[in-house]
Chain A
């Protein structure tokens, strides 16, 4: 095969790969559109009888905290204002080197409590358990540092309620968040986990720990992430949910059936993406045990998070996410194409593996190959142009569908001009930003293959709480 033949064949390969990948995305979009219409039909009737009043299942909110002394009090005060009849808050001080514990002790009048600790999941040493004299539904575990997964496991061990909700200390919840996310558990007793939609808080008006007005950020990177989150949540997850093939429940806000999580061994401490790994493992083990279960996604915007506004932090975050994806898939490979794998084993996992995991490598390789072929004269101007146009065109199309889904459902951004801002953002994010993301994801794959550690970096928070 001559060099010229190589370029033709490789262009065919890349084109077909792109078509398959985007066809998959478009099918997910189609499923999401159907699902969101049904969901809105069911949930937008304002006068539905309050059918679940009195049936709400008690929830343990688990809040891991590591060096959060500046924000922890405000976060907990906001959690105390949630509209839900029965919940407890378990804060896990993960060996903070700052004065997180002292701040908590002072504000919530903590006193040491003789908790008969229930060691079901192994964790680092628990130093002490405290209970608040001011708010009896607040308990604090003080433990040796072991990371987020270890903290959550400690929280699960001490949690009293049948459901637990993992909340990042910096997540901003809506007052009705718990009410919304618990619905799948009430509607279907087979539900073992539910994830909510996460939105970008940058630019929003935040008062007393709650988002009171959704606004778009001025920072261009944060703005790109708004469209990106719309895409990730409104069709990336909504599309898989009705197939019971959801592989990710965001670590920022997810609700779990405690006994099921304990039965699969809790969170894995030695992984970067502990939230995704847990979900994939739940799928694998529950399918293996032939236990009927559901993992659901609630599309309502119920959790807000601050997005990185500088390239370094964003890059670190994306590298971590990609490595988390890689670890989650690789450590549960047994699920893929398994006889009992169902939709998740035969569709979602291969899709994640071939398009999300190795997609960035092929995408960048395709773009580079076209550029080289064109430079060396093996690929015509027309072919190169078509290739780039399709690659970018599909990206724009997908971002626009995400904006459409938002328009079909929640209209979070009420100001009409915002929709134009989002539309423009959906166009321009495909020129540079998306490729940058592919680069970070490829870097993550390189680090993963070579076994090198990725840096966590520190999130530069603006803390726009008023």
Chain B
């Protein structure tokens, strides 16, 4: 064997390595080629069989929206997931008493057994199908399993579980999972807000205020949003309590934006000259929504702020104040010395005129 530079670098070794690589590449190439062909063939076959199944069951599902047929064909276990998917899709599309009929059909076909089994499936997709189905079926027997998933799982699955629980019993879900509602900052606030809107439990506002005492700083934005969604009578009290703490300026902005009580105007005045511009934007917004005639001067001053968004919100606030007439706006505009302030007022007037 011929060695070069004394490092075992030889043509023969290269040849051996090359042959080995060539074989490996060839084998993998053939395997992947075959896998692609098999995948496509099985997809075509599966779609064909699935279509036949759906052609049988879709009319039954549609009929069940009105009346559940007495006699049902046997449900082929191989297509149970397709059936569950069809059932859930239809459930989402319709409303009212038709849901009860679909639940009756689901009970007749005994899909809740499959759905409960799916909760412990190794695949998140199947777990989600199980959770969604049990929620739609309002299956009370699944409550403890769903609570456990809502408390312990990753975002999508836990959210789906919480939604399912609220479908089964919204008030119970709110009280039992309030700590999760506050602490799960990964759950979109709008989803929770939607659920909150559907509750009639009068205690929720109090529970949220109690939770705010112990809440960590990152949990406060959720509480603030929920209190606002519920239009709680204790909202101003809660914002005051939050703002009295040393909190992050994002939370200050949020509180100011949510203010709807004119008696809380003193809270807004605290932040008129706040160094962070997004807080001043929130101040302009708040002055526009709960401010009185005395606050007009503050807003005029804000028209010359160095930040465009502060100027814009201040101009918007002035133009939309209920006690400021069009003539007042024109006078304010003409009295302004700062060109930037004049331009922003012109823009907001033009926008209003477009509406």
- Residues of A participating in the B interface, judged by any CB pair closer than 8 Å: 1, 5, 8-9, 11-12, 15, 19, 38, 40-42, 44-49, 51-55, 113-116, 118, 120, 131, 133, 136, 186-187, 380, 382-383, 386-387, 389-390, 393-394, 396-397, 400-401, 403-404, 407-408, 411, 416, 419, 423
Tell me the bound Cα distance from A8 to B9 in angstroms: 8
Contact flags B240-260 to A (C-beta < 8 A → 1, else 0): 000000000000000000000
**Shortest beta-carbon distance from B6 to chain A in Å:** 11
Contact A400 B343 (CB under 8 A): no
Q: How far, in Å, is B131 (CB) from chain A's closest CB? A: 9
Q: Which residue of B lies closest to A406 (CB)?
A: B36
In the complex, what's the smallest C-beta–C-beta distance from A49 to chain B, in angstroms?
A: 5
Shortest beta-carbon distance from A425 to chain B in Å = 12
A113–B354 alpha-carbon span in the complex (Å): 10
Question: Judging by beta carbons under 8 Å apart, are A397 and B25 in contact?
Answer: yes
Complex CA distance for A394 and B26, rounded to whole angstroms = 9
Task: Give the docked Cα–Cα distance between A423 and B29 (Å).
Answer: 11
| B128 engages A390 (CB within 8 Å) | no
A45 & B43 in contact (Cβ 8 Å cutoff): no
Taking CB atoms, residues of chain B closer than 8 Å to A131 are 354
Is B85 in contact with A416, judged by CB distance below 8 angstroms?
Answer: no
Asked if A393 and B29 sit within 8 Å, CB to CB, the answer is yes
Minimum CB–CB distance from B349 to chain A (whole Å) comes to 8
Q: Give complex CA distance A120, B308 in Å.
A: 10
**Known A-B contacts A45-B129, A49-B163, A52-B190; A397 and B156 likewise in contact (beta carbons under 8 Å):** no
Q: Which residues of B contact A114 (CB under 8 A)?
A: 343, 346-347, 350
Contact across chains for B129 and A400 when beta carbons are under 8 A apart: no
Contact A419 B36 (CB under 8 A): yes
Secondary structure at chain B's binding surface: helix, strand, loop or mixed?
A: helix
Q: Which residue of the partner chain B has the closest CB to A378?
A: B11
Interface string of B1-45 (1 = CB under 8 A from A): 000110001110011011101100110110011011101110110
Contacts of A401 in B (CB 8 A): 32
Known contacts A38-B124, A55-B189, A397-B28, then 5 further A-B pairs from the complex at CB < 8 Å, ordered by chain A residue: A47-B129, A113-B347, A116-B343, A386-B15, A387-B18
Report if B270 contacts A (CB, 8 A): no
Contact: A9 with B19, CB < 8 Å? no
What is the CA–CA distance of A88 and B62 in the complex, to the nearest angstrom? 39
Decide: A55 and B191 in contact? CB cutoff 8 A.
Answer: yes
Task: Identify 17 residue pairs between A and B in the complex whose beta-carbon atoms are under 8 Å apart, listed by A's number.
Answer: A5-B4, A15-B17, A41-B123, A41-B125, A42-B124, A51-B156, A51-B159, A114-B346, A114-B350, A116-B312, A120-B308, A389-B25, A390-B22, A393-B25, A393-B26, A397-B25, A404-B36
Is A416 touching B40 in the complex (CB atoms < 8 A)? yes
B11 pairs with A383, CB closer than 8 A: yes
